[in-house]
Amino acid sequence: MTSPHFPPAETPSAALAGVTLRYPKGPVVLNGLDWQLLPGQVVGLLGRNGAGKTTLLETLLGLREPEAGRIALFGQDAARLDDAARARIGYVPQHSDLFESFTPAQLLAYFRSFYPRWNEAKVEGLMSRWDIDRDKPIRKLSGGQKQRLSIIRALAHEPDLLVLDEPVASLDPAGRRDFLRELVGEVLDRGATVVFSTHILSDLERVAFNIAFLSQGRIALQAPLDELLEQVRAFTGSVTEMAALMARLGVPPLKRTALQAGRERVLVRLPADAALPEGVAAERLNLDDLFTELT
Ligand code: ADP
C-alpha cells in the first residue's frame, strides 16, 4: 500500500501563540495574540497609532518578554535563540540613535565583523543607489538617509526574516511606496519573510502581498490584499436577517456593528464559492474602509 504524499510542513519563520503583554501599570497591549509568518511571505502589519505594532515586533523578536504565550523563531524559542538562528534575522527599529559619531563605512565594517554571511556587493550597490555618503558622520545624515542606512545594515547578511518597524516613516510620501517595493524585491527572490509595520495605507498597495490588521491586542485578520478586496463584504439588515444570513453562509462575522432600530451591519469574508441569497445587498469595501472597520 502506498501512503499519500504530503509536502513537508514548512517551519514558520515566526510563530506566536497566545501572546499577552502589558506594560507596568499600563493597559494590555497584546491580548492572547496568535500569528504566523511563513517563508516567502511579505506582510504589512497595519494598525492605528498606539495599537501596539512596535510592541508586537519587539516581542516577536524576543526583545520583550510576554507575560503569557509562546514565541518561536525558525522553530526555536525566541528567548533562547542560538547564534545561527540569530544570524538569520534582520531588524530595522523605528528609531536608533546609536552610532551617531560613526560614519556609514565604519558602521558597516563593525556589523560585518559579527556575521558569517555578509553580501558586500549588495551593500556597495545599495549605498550608491540609495545615495548615502560613506564618510560623513551618521548624525549629519538626513532622517531618510539614516533610515536607508539602517535598512542596508539589516539586509547585508541576507536575513531569512526581515522585521522593519515603520521603515519608510522618514521618507517623503512620493518615494515611500517605490522604495518599499524595491526593498521587498531585495528579499523576495530568496524566499525570505518580510514583515513591516505601517499606519499609512498607500504603503501597502502593490507591496504587501499580505496584510495583517492589529486591533485590540490581536491580529484581527491576515490575508493577501487582493483576496481581501475580492472577498470581504458588508451586509446590513435586521438582527434576525443577519443571523439567518450568517448561518447560511457558515462563516463567522469579522465585525458586527449595532445600528438603530434593531438593525446591524456585519462584515464577512465570503468563502470563494459563496452563493448569496436573492435580494441581499452586499457592499464591497476598499482598503480604506477595511482599515477603518478592522482597526
Ligand atoms: P504602535 O507601534 O502601534 O504605535 P506601540 O507598540 O508603540 O504602538 O504602543 C502600544 C501602547 O503601549 C501605547 O498605548 C503606548 O503608549 C504603550 N507603550 C509603548 N511603549 C511603552 C513603554 N515602554 N512603557 C509603557 N507603555 C508603553
Q: What is the DSSP letter of 25?
A: T
Distance of CA 67 to the CA centre of its chain: 22
The grid coordinates listed for 147 are 533610515
If you write DSSP's letter for every residue of 199-234 in order, what string do you get?
S-GGGTTTT-SEEEEEETTEEEEEEEHHHHHHHEEE
What separation in angstroms does the CA of 165 have from each of 1, 28, 46, 81, 205?
A: 51, 20, 11, 21, 17
61-85 burial, b if ≥16 CB within 10 A, otherwise e? bbebebeebebbbbebebeebeeeb
In a 10 Å sphere around its CB, with 0-12 CB exposed, 13-18 middle and 19+ buried, how is residue 181 labelled?
middle
Q: CB of 249 closer than 6 A to ligand 1?
A: no
Backbone angles phi, psi at 211, to 5 degrees: -125, 135
Q: Which of 19, 49, 55, 94 to mutate to test the pocket of ligand 1 (most atoms within 8 A of CB)?
A: 55
Pairing of strands 161-164, 89-92: parallel
Q: Average pLDDT for residues 108-117, to the nearest whole number?
A: 92
Please tell me the total number of residues recorded for the chain in this structure.
Answer: 295
Q: Is the CB of 29 under 6 A from ligand 1?
A: yes
Distance 187 CA to ligand 1 centre (A): 29
> How many CB atoms neighbour CB 141 within 10 A?
18
Mutate to test the pocket of ligand 1, among 23, 60, 63, 164 (most ligand atoms within 8 A of CB): 23
Name the band, by pLDDT with cuts 50, 70 and 90, for residue 180. Answer: confident
Cα(193) to ligand 1 centroid in Å equals 25
pLDDT in tens, 227-260: 888 899 999 999 999 999 988 888 888 899 999 9
Percent of all residues in the chain with a pLDDT value above 70, rounded to a whole number = 97
Q: Which helix (H) or strand (E) holds 71?
A: strand 68-73
Averaged pLDDT, 208-237: 91
State the burial class of residue 278 (Cβ atoms within 10 Å of its Cβ: 0-12, 13-18, 19+).
exposed
Predicted confidence at residue 177, as pLDDT, reads 78
- Buried residues in 11-31 as b, exposed as e (16+ CB within 10 A): ebbbbbeebbbeeeeeeebbb
| Binding site membership of 21 for ligand 1 (Cβ less than 6 Å) | no
Which atom, in ligand 1's list, is nearest to the CA of 166? 2
Closest by CA to 240, choosing from 232, 248, 228, is 248
| DSSP string for residues in 103-161 | -HHHHHHHHHTT-S---HHHHHHHHHHTT--TTS-GGGS-HHHHHHHHHHHHHTT--SE
Residue identifier of the C-alpha nearest atom 25 of ligand 1: 23
Residue 31: the pLDDT is 97
**pLDDT given for residue 279 in this prediction:** 74
> Are 61 and 163 contacting, i.e. CB atoms less than 8 angstroms apart?
yes
Closest residue by Cα to atom 10, ligand 1, is 52
* Closest protein CA for atom 23 of ligand 1: 23
Phi, psi (deg, nearest 5) at residue 149: -65, -40
Average pLDDT taken over every residue of the chain: 89
Torsion of CA 94, 98, 103, 107, to 10 degrees: -80
Closest-CA residue to 287 (of 186, 199, 182, 177) = 199
Most confident of the ranges 76-85, 193-202, 281-290:
76-85
* Cα 217 to averaged position of ligand 1 atoms, centre (Å): 11
> Is the beta carbon of 55 within 6 A of some atom in ligand 1?
yes
Backbone φ and ψ for 26, nearest 5 degrees, come out as -100, 175
Check residues 193 and 201 and name the one with the higher pLDDT. 193
C-beta of 198 in contact with ligand 1 (< 6 A): no
